[in-house]
Structure 1
Amino acid sequence: MSDAKIPKRILDKDLDKFANVEEAAGFLSRSLIAPGLALLFLASAGIFASLYVFGEPRATIVIAAAAIAGYMALNIGANDVANNVGPAVGARAITMGGALVMAAVAETAGALLAGGEVVETIANGIIFPDAVADPNVFIRLMVAALIASALWIHLSTWLRAPVSTTHAIVGAVVGAGAAAAGLSAVNWLSMGAITASWMLSPLLGGAIAAALLAFVESMVIYQDDKIAAARRWVPLLIATMAGAFAAYLATLGIGKVVTLANSTVAAIGIGCFLAAWVAFHRIVGRQSRGLENRNQSLRHLFVIPLIISAGLLSFAHGANDVANAVGPLAAIVYAAGTGEVAAEAAVPFWVMLIGALGISVGLLLFGPRLIRIVGAEITKLNPVRAFCIALSTALTVIVASWLGMPVSTTHIAVGSVFGVGFYREWAAIRSIRRRAYLQRKQEILSPATIEAEPVAPPPTTNLLAGGKKGSQQEIIRRRLVRRAHVRTIVAAWVTTVPASAVLAALFFYLLRSAS
């Protein structure tokens, strides 16, 4: 080896090291962009609040609370909104970028247009107001609740677990309220009823989603003439979605602006159902012309309704769940300005704006992480399955609202995803209609054209018991529902209320000792 080649080789190695350093620095800087923009938003929220409260009593605590409420809103956007658009993204009905923009616009519009001018200051009446009549104690309670719930949601997002932001804030209020005034300050009877409804809602959502998917498979997918069956049933399904979402928006989307009786909500839903049924008979008939008699053709008929449902879910979510961030802040602003504690408080526009923009910014910066979990990693979705999930979410919320049950849309939406996945596991092994359909395909079609689906073994196989590694039931189980995500999400659901409560109690004690 010549002397001239040795320096060149050393130089090449040095240049490679510089290139690696530059690449690592670029990667690190990209990973810091989102946190940097989030911090900029929080600082802007505090500055924005100071324009309205500077010079007023307790202005400092209000400015700090505005930044904390902005942090809470960021976490709501990063975690909760994934349930609205995740199925549509997982089904490839819309791209990730398109879903983020659509959801951000819909969330902001829902919060600002239908978020309400008055919110409850103590979530769901779980704390007796007389127990925290001192405004200084009340302000510390709400600040502690905001910090605790926001931190728990942040941790859950980092762990890739979609949780209920309503659960987090309610648990935090319980913990801070108990720390402030003792366990007797908590309305345990109301809390017990709320907890029971939270446990039932994901089961109800999952059952409805599974029943819808079973209906679609039985009446459309497993029919010999799929296109004729689609012309008959798809308009009915889309009309049901239109009616359900009309009632959903009337119940939650604008319920804080205009109070509507159940009969009025029902009339709105029925009217939209009939109008959509007439319209989509023509639309589906036109779309289905020339389509091949295969499952892939059917999925195109559900794409547009699925995208619309994702936008409507986001609008209703913005209108309803923005209160989880702005409710405590509005209560703090009212108590700081008047020196009184009220069961309800008016929401200044600047407070609502912080909540609305915070949800959208959090979604745009951090939302893709959980959107992928909900839409693609729990179970495989297509437009038909995602449509069943969206419709199940709306139907379950409507039923629960009419029954007077406070529910979590997060639990319902994710429960619907679980319901679809577990139904597919059951159907892959035990569905008689599915086996008959596959048998007909084998008799009619050549093996090369048969869709690659696992052929069901005899129904005596116990799917839930699993099977030996590599066995068919084990392959189906691992392919259809990822148990690791199920365990993580359910564990996060179970621990959200107690964890938020403990954190809030600790922060309340810290705030009290600091003052």
Structure 2
Amino acid sequence: MLGVIAAAFFMAWAIGANDSAKAVGTAVGSGIVGFRRAVLIIAVFTTLGATLSGSGVSETITALARGLSPAEIALVLFSSASAVTLASLWGKPISTTQSIIGALVGSSLALGFSVDWWTVGKIVSAWFVSPVFASVLAIATYKFYKPVLKRIKCLRSLELTQKWLVFLASAFSAFNLGANEVSNVTGLAKAGGIAGPNAVLALVAALGALTFSYEVMMTLGRNLAPLGPTSAFASQFGASIAVSVANVFGLPVSSGQAIVGAISGLSLYKGEHVNKKLLLDIVKSWVRAPFFSGLLAFVLVRLFSAGF
């Protein structure tokens, strides 16, 4: 039981270190919100999301983990958290959701359990759809949003409006972070016999954001594409809507894939520079993360079941 708690805390911290950048990276990278204020947004709204809106996602993850012992659940959490932490060390925004699913599949295969490939297939298909969907929504938001801003003639009012909109989009994204990514951990903790740790795990994620997320924030908010206030809001809002739709269907998707799709799609639509080398590295990390976590979980569970 203590192993599940420790591993769940490690995973929640890793989510904060990596996924918080996907909620507030555009706001910090564009210079609209300071780093410490962004961490406060993560702490408040991720907790609200995990507490109020994460049940569908957590139930999906709990179902996938059915049959695993608490010790095996702890190894799944440790494996996925290790993959995410390594990516954060390199400043790469990866999918914590993919890491968790990869570790679950790896552990199930190690134990000879049947894998619910239908559910896994639905989740994987959502990973492909979400960045494209987020890109379309970001472009639609931008096309609606920019003409409205042009009607504001007072410069002070314009700046204030843009700052508030970016803040609201970041808060919305942080809420989704709690409802989706943190709820993945909640679902695994529940499968391991730990019930109701939503708010605590969300606060641990905020600690991860405070201590280890800055490099990933800069990767998304500054290095992938140049972001002004208008682009920052449209990208963040489009990605948030895409993740919210997935939450409605109980699909654990990646907010990271959504925000990367939104930023890249909108920047290409506007004819702005996109760092294609960095984008390719990020996409490669989306493949590496579940493979690494799955392989590590497979090896650790095999060793554990063999009595080592």
Same-fold status (TM-score > 0.5): yes
Give yes or no for the alignment of 1:206 onto 2:135.
yes
Is the Cα–Cα contact under 8 Å of residues 144 and 505 in structure 1 kept in the other structure? no
Residue 414 (str. 1) matches residue 207 (str. 2): no
- Establish whether residue 85 from structure 1 lines up as the match of residue 16 from structure 2: no
The 2-side partners of 1:319 and 1:194 are apart by: 16
1:131-150 correspondence runs (5 A): 132=67, 138-150=69-81
Aligned to 2:150: 230
1:168-247 counterparts in 2 under 5 A?
168-182=99-113, 185-216=114-145, 219=147, 230-231=150-151
| 2:305 maps to 1:512 | yes
Note closer, same or farther for the CA distance 1:291–1:108 as it changes in structure 2 (3 Å cut): closer
8 A contact 1:141–1:180 mirrored in 2: no
**Relative to 1, partners in 2 of residues 1:179 and 1:299: Cα closer, same or farther, differing over 3 Å?**
same
Q: Which residue of 2 aligns with 1:99?
A: 38
2:176–2:243 CA contact under 8 A, matched in 1? no
Residues 252-401 of structure 1 aligned to structure 2 (within 5 Å): 288=152, 290-291=154-155, 298=158, 300-333=160-193, 347-348=195-196, 351-400=197-246
**In structure 2, what residue type is equivalent to 1:87?**
T
**Conserved 8 A contact 1:141-1:173:** no
Q: Does the CA-based 8 Å contact 2:46-2:178 persist in structure 1?
A: yes
Q: Which amino acid aligns with 2:283?
A: V
Moved more, 143-152 or 353-362: 353-362
Q: Is contact 1:123-1:173 (8 Å) kept?
A: no
Q: After TM superposition, give the deviation of residue 419 of structure 1 in Å.
A: 1.1
Residues 321/409 of structure 1: CA separation in 2 closer, same or farther (3 Å cut): same
Contact 2:138–2:262 at 8 Å: present in 1 too? Answer: yes
- Whether 1:65 aligns to 2:17 is no
Shift of residue 157, structure 1, vs aligned partner: 0.9
Question: 1:327 and 1:368, CA in 2 relative to 1: closer, same or farther beyond 3 A?
Answer: same
Letter aligned with residue 154 of structure 1: T
Q: Could you tell me the percent identity over the aligned residues? A: 30
2:235–2:263 Cα contact (<8 Å) kept? yes
Corresponding residue SS for 2:76: helix
> In structure 2, do the counterparts of structure 1 residues 207 and 299 end up closer, same or farther at CA, with 3 Å as the change threshold?
farther
Q: Do the aligned partners of 2:80 and 2:103 also contact (CA within 8 Å) in 1?
A: yes
SS of the residue corresponding to residue 81 of structure 1 reads helix
One-letter amino acid of the counterpart of residue 150, structure 2: A
Distance (whole Å) between structure 1 residues aligned to residue 57 and residue 267 of structure 2? 40
> Offset of 1:116 from its aligned partner?
5.1
Letter in 2 for 1:396: A
Q: In structure 2, what is the Cα distance between the partners aligned to 1:482 and 1:118? A: 32
2-structure distance, mates of 1:162, 1:140:
28
Paired with 1:78 and 1:69, the residues of 2 have a C-alpha distance of 14
**In structure 2, how many angstroms separate the alpha carbons of the residues matched to 1:197 and 1:307?**
27
Pair 177,358 (structure 1): closer, same or farther in 2 beyond 3 Å: same
Distance 2:50 2:252 in 1: 19
Q: Is residue 57–residue 251 contact of structure 2 (8 Å, CA) maintained in 1?
A: no
Q: CA deviation at 1:329?
A: 2.4
C-alpha distance after superposition, 1:439-465 (max 9, x if no partner): xxxxxxxxxxxxxxxxxxxxxxxxxxx
Residues 414-460 of structure 1, C-alpha deviation per residue, up to 9 Å, x if partnerless?
210111222233xx6xxxxxxxxxxxxxxxxxxxxxxxxxxxxxxxx
Measure the CA separation in 2 of the matches of 1:501 and 1:507: 10
Find out whether 1:500 has 2:293 as its counterpart: yes
SS at match of 2:91: coil
* Structure 2 counterpart SS, 1:379: coil
The count of aligned residue pairs is 308
Alignment pair present for 1:489 and 2:279: no
| Secondary structure in structure 1 of the residue aligned to 2:69 | helix
For the structure 1 residues 88 and 124, does the alpha-carbon distance in structure 2 shift closer, same or farther, using more than 3 Å as the test? same
| Worse-matched range after superposition: 416-425 or 400-409 | 400-409
Compute the TM-score of the two structures, normalised by the length of structure 1: 0.55
Question: Contact 2:4/2:71 (CA < 8 Å) preserved in 1?
Answer: no
Report the Cα offset of residue 361 of structure 1: 0.8
Once residues 216 and 356 of structure 1 are traced to their aligned partners in structure 2, the CA distance between those partners, rounded to angstroms, is: 31
Query: For residues 409 and 117 of structure 1, what CA distance do their matches in structure 2 show?
Result: 16
Deviation at 1:199, TM superposition (A): 0.9
The alpha carbon displacement at 1:507 in A equals 1.0
Q: Where does the alignment leave 5 or more consecutive residues of structure 1 unmatched?
A: 1-61, 221-228, 232-287, 335-346, 429-479
| C-alpha contact (below 8 Å) 1:378/1:481 kept by paired residues | yes
Contact 1:86 1:375 in 2 (8 A): yes
Q: Which has the higher contact order (CA 8 A, sep 6+)?
A: 2
Which residue, out of 151, 158, 161, partners 2:82?
A: 151
Look at both structures and tell me which one has the larger radius of gyration over its CA atoms.
1
Counterpart CA distance in 2 for 1:367 and 1:176 is: 28
Q: Supply the AA of the counterpart residue of 1:230.
A: K
- Whether contact under 8 Å (1:72, 1:149) holds in the other structure is yes
CA deviation after TM superposition for structure 1 residue 215, in Å: 5.0
Gap runs ≥5 in structure 2: none
- Partners of 2:302 and 2:108 in 1: CA distance: 11
Residues 331, 401 of structure 1: CA spacing in aligned structure 2 closer, same or farther, 3 A cutoff?
closer
Q: CA deviation at 1:484?
A: 2.6
> Which of 50, 56, 61 lines up with 1:123 in the alignment?
61
**Superposed counterparts of 1:430-441, under 5 Å:** none
Cα RMSD for the two superposed structures: 2.7
